[in-house]
Amino acid sequence: MNIDQGEDGNGVLSRSERPDAGLGHASSAGITLMGDPGSRGYFGEFGGQFVPEALVPACQQLETAFRSAWPDSSFRKSLDGILHAYAGRPTPVTECRRLSENLGIRLLLKREDLTHTGSHKINNVLGQALLAKRMGKPRLIAETGAGQHGVAAATAAALFGLECEVYMGEMDVHRQELNVFRMKLLGAKVRSVSNGSRTLKDAVNEALRDWVANVESTYYCIGSVVGPHPYPWIVRELQAVVGNEARSQCREILGGADPDVVVACVGGGSNAAGTFAGFVDSSSELIGVEASGGAAISRGVPGVVHGMKSMFLQDDDGQVQEAQSISAGLDYPGTGPEHAHLSSLGRARYTAANDVQVLDAFSLLSRTEGIIPALEPAHALAFVIEAARAGEIPGGASVLITLSGRGDKDVAQVMDLTAGG
């Protein structure tokens, strides 16, 4: 069974043939955005549920469980309590005074690097682990690229007493040895994937195969706003806490105003989706920053991969091409379907940063603010630095960046790349 390919006879089945109109926030353009995608799971023309027949009941069961849990006050109270007492929410918004002066803008960081486990991934995983417990699933599986989602999944499994296995591309296992050890220390089994490009795309494939084989006992905890419906919706809802907090915090800092520009890095796109959900009905410009060696939104074409219709890097024959990035977390040849939808409507703009720009941004934030970012959000920072210096972001503009993770996991890699700095 080839789960990696699309709907042209390559083993992925669909029960979703046409999009439903979604419900949600009304944007400043009067278009309804970032709400419930309906039972078919479409955001405009993107999304859906393209899975083998064996997984259709599992997806339906998951959707039913989430629709029951999400409005349940006891479930939400439990989740909010764990996010506060265990994960450390709310995270602060930090004003970068020295870097702001350097760039001529007012730069704010939403500090997801300060959560337990060091990234926004914990928000999603705690919610899905609670849902797994509610559904009576004793085993959690996950995919990971940079390792942060794997660490978060292993953490939640330890907290709730669940068995946990994490699939990770062989190349990423070598790049992220520290996170691999952290997962094992937390009691998870790490499965190195040697197929294909040996990165995140292939880890997702193997996790999906595991889910097919063990669906009765296993909950697949997807780490981003990707995959078949209802995952893109579930993950965005669980990450919306980032944007909702940030909007309120920014208004306190900016005298009641929203930021002029809101920026987040995008691979699969969960931190960006969670951030944008808080600002989609505002006048803030929304900008997602991909890795230049990926850039699925600007360079890709519509296709069906990993159970969803979205934008993917593909060759002329429709075969998925490998993405290249200094960051394991952005090394994915596609993006979440809701990002493809936001781009098609023009509500969010997507651009890219290259490895050299990212390393420069990584160093500049560290030296000016004493904050070492993960390589993933360093892409968002790299864009802002270049755009401010070029005048694309006007002087004095207020800019919010979601700092989705801390750079501990990347320090050894950056040290090697820069020969010790």
Q: Tens of pLDDT along 67-121?
A: 999 999 999 999 999 999 999 999 999 999 999 999 999 999 999 999 999 999 9
Return the H-helix or E-strand segment holding 112.
none
CA atoms in the 13 A half-sphere facing the CB of 181: 6
Q: What is the pLDDT of residue 331?
A: 76
Q: What is the pLDDT of residue 23?
A: 33
- Name the residue among 52, 14, 4 with its Cα closest to residue 319: 4
Return the H-helix or E-strand segment holding 191.
strand 189-193
Task: Please give the distance of CA 401 from its chain centroid, rounded to a whole number.
Answer: 14
* Phi, psi angle pair for 352, to nearest 5°: -145, 155
Q: What is the pLDDT of residue 32?
A: 58
User: 280 and 31 in contact (C-beta within 8 Å)?
Assistant: no
Section 37-47 average pLDDT: 96
Active site residues: 96, 120
Q: What is the pLDDT of residue 17?
A: 34
Residue at 132: amino acid letter: A
Q: What is the pLDDT of residue 294?
A: 82
Confidence bin at 318 (pLDDT 50/70/90)? confident
Q: What is the pLDDT of residue 201?
A: 82
Q: How far apart are the first and last CA of the chain?
A: 46
> Given a cut of 60, is residue 11 above it in pLDDT?
no
Q: Tens of pLDDT along 255-288?
A: 999 999 999 999 999 999 999 999 999 999 999 9
- Name the residue among 39, 40, 32 with its Cα closest to residue 14: 40
Of 23-32, 204-213, 228-237, 247-256, the least confident: 23-32
List, edge to edge, every strand of the sheet that includes 261-265.
93-95, 106-111, 398-403, 261-265, 285-291, 348-353
Q: Which residues pair with 47 in a beta bridge?
A: 42, 309
Q: What is the pLDDT of residue 6?
A: 40
Instruction: Using only the alpha carbons of the chain, give its radius of gyration.
Output: 20
Give the total residue count for the chain.
421
May I ask the CATH architecture of the domain 42-77+121-231?
Answer: 3-Layer(aba) Sandwich (3.40)
Section 182-195 average pLDDT: 95
Q: Tens of pLDDT along 323-368?
A: 888 887 787 889 999 999 999 999 999 999 999 999 999 999 999 9
- % of the chain beyond a pLDDT of 70: 92
- Looking up tokens 């890709």, which residue turns up? 300
> Given a cut of 70, is residue 420 above it in pLDDT?
no
**42-77+121-231 and 89-119+240-417, same CATH topology:** yes
User: 78 and 102 in contact (C-beta within 8 Å)?
Assistant: no
> Given a cut of 70, is residue 220 above it in pLDDT?
yes
CA distance 167 to 177: 14
DSSP-assigned states of every residue in 257-284: PPPSEEEEE-SS-HHHHHHHHHHTTSS-
Section 165-170 average pLDDT: 95
Confidence bin at 66 (pLDDT 50/70/90)? very high
Q: What is the pLDDT of residue 145?
A: 83
- Name the residue among 242, 223, 268, 230 with its Cα closest to residue 87: 242
> Cα angle vertex 21, ends 16, 27, to 5°?
135
Section 212-221 average pLDDT: 95
- Name the residue among 151, 167, 160 with its Cα closest to residue 211: 167
CATH among 3.40.50.1100, 3.30.460.80, 3.40.50.1370, 3.20.20.70 for 89-119+240-417: 3.40.50.1100
> Given a cut of 80, is residue 400 above it in pLDDT?
yes
Of 39-53, 107-121, 221-235, 313-327, the least confident: 313-327
CA distance 21 to 257: 31
CB atoms within 10 A of CB 194: 11
Interacting residues of 161 by C-beta distance below 8 A, sequence separation 6+: none
Average confidence score pLDDT of the chain = 90
Domain residues of the chain, as ranges? 42-77+121-231, 89-119+240-417
